């Protein structure tokens, strides 16, 4: 038998006080602490807590997606942001809505990230490939990476 700890509600509120969580992400975290009882299985207990939090406006997939995109967008491209949203269990429609806010400035964000890391266009193919791999690893689109690494910017 586990020692009595904070209730599922208290744990959920503590997690939400630190940062926004998606419903799926919070369910995963709470499931570790839920125990089956004769009255209700653990999954049912977690769902009840999540439903109550959502009804009170404390749990929102949209807010979780917007918070993640707002925090990570200056350093990451849309592909990587989409991957992070999927990992956190944000539904695709909520993820698309959150990504819409950063769709137009992908090139500018890539240029800022590239400038901070490299500062100048590489002289040789190996240097350009290294810069391209760096930006691709950050989740920027191939066309954006090509324009930044070649120094084309908005003119290309």
Measured in whole angstroms, how far is the alpha carbon of residue 82 from the centre of its chain? 7
pTM score, whole prediction: 0.84
pLDDT, mean of residues 115-132: 93
Does the residue 89 lie in any domain? yes
For residues 97 and 125, membership in a common domain is answered with no
pLDDT, mean of residues 32-38: 84
| Domain with 76 in it | 61-103
The residues, ordered by sequence, that sit 6+ positions from 129 with a Cβ below 8 Å of its Cβ are: none
Cα diameter, the chain: 70
For residue 31, what are its two tokens? 């499931």
Does the residue 3 lie in any domain? no
Predicted confidence at residue 153, as pLDDT, reads: 60
Rounded CA separation 112/86 (Å) = 25
Query: Average per-residue pLDDT in the chain?
Result: 91
In this predicted structure, the answer to whether residue 2 has a pLDDT above a threshold of 90 is no
- Residues, the chain: 156
In this predicted structure, the answer to whether residue 113 has a pLDDT above a threshold of 60 is yes
For residues 99 and 113, membership in a common domain is answered with no
How many Å from the N-terminal Cα to the C-terminal Cα in the chain?
65
Rounded CA separation 76/84 (Å) = 10
Among 23, 40, 55, residue at a domain's last position: 55
Does the residue 69 lie in any domain? yes
Does the residue 2 lie in any domain? no
CATH of residue 136's domain is 1.10.10
pLDDT of 59-105, one tens digit each? 999 999 999 999 999 999 999 999 999 999 999 999 999 999 888 88
For residues 51 and 19, membership in a common domain is answered with yes
Domain count, the chain: 3
pLDDT class of 151 with cuts at 50, 70, 90: confident
Predicted confidence at residue 11, as pLDDT, reads: 95
For residues 110 and 146, membership in a common domain is answered with yes
For residues 70 and 82, membership in a common domain is answered with yes
Does the residue 29 lie in any domain? yes
For residues 97 and 121, membership in a common domain is answered with no
pLDDT class of 154 with cuts at 50, 70, 90: low
For residues 43 and 77, membership in a common domain is answered with no
Q: DSSP character for 124?
A: S
DSSP assignments along 63-103, one per residue:
HHHHHHHHHHTTT--HHHHHHHHHHTT--HHHHHHHHHTTG
The residues, ordered by sequence, that sit 6+ positions from 2 with a Cβ below 8 Å of its Cβ are: 35
């Amino acid at each position: 038998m586990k020692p009595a700890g904070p209730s599922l509600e208290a744990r959920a509120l503590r997690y939400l006080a630190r940062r926004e969580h998606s419903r799926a992400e919070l369910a995963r975290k709470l499931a570790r602490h839920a125990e089956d009882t004769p009255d209700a299985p653990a999954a049912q207990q977690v769902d009840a807590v999540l439903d109550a939090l959502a009804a009170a406006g404390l749990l929102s997939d949209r807010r979780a997606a917007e918070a993640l995109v707002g925090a990570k967008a200056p350093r990451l491209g849309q592909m990587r942001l989409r991957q992070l949203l999927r990992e956190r269990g944000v539904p695709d429609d909520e993820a698309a809505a959150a990504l819409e806010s950063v769709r137009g400035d992908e090139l500018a964000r890539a240029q800022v990230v590239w400038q901070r890391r490299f500062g100048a266009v590489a002289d040789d193919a190996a240097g350009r490939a290294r810069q391209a791999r760096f930006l691709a690893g950050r989740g920027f689109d191939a066309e954006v990476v090509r324009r930044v690494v070649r120094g084309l910017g908005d003119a290309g």
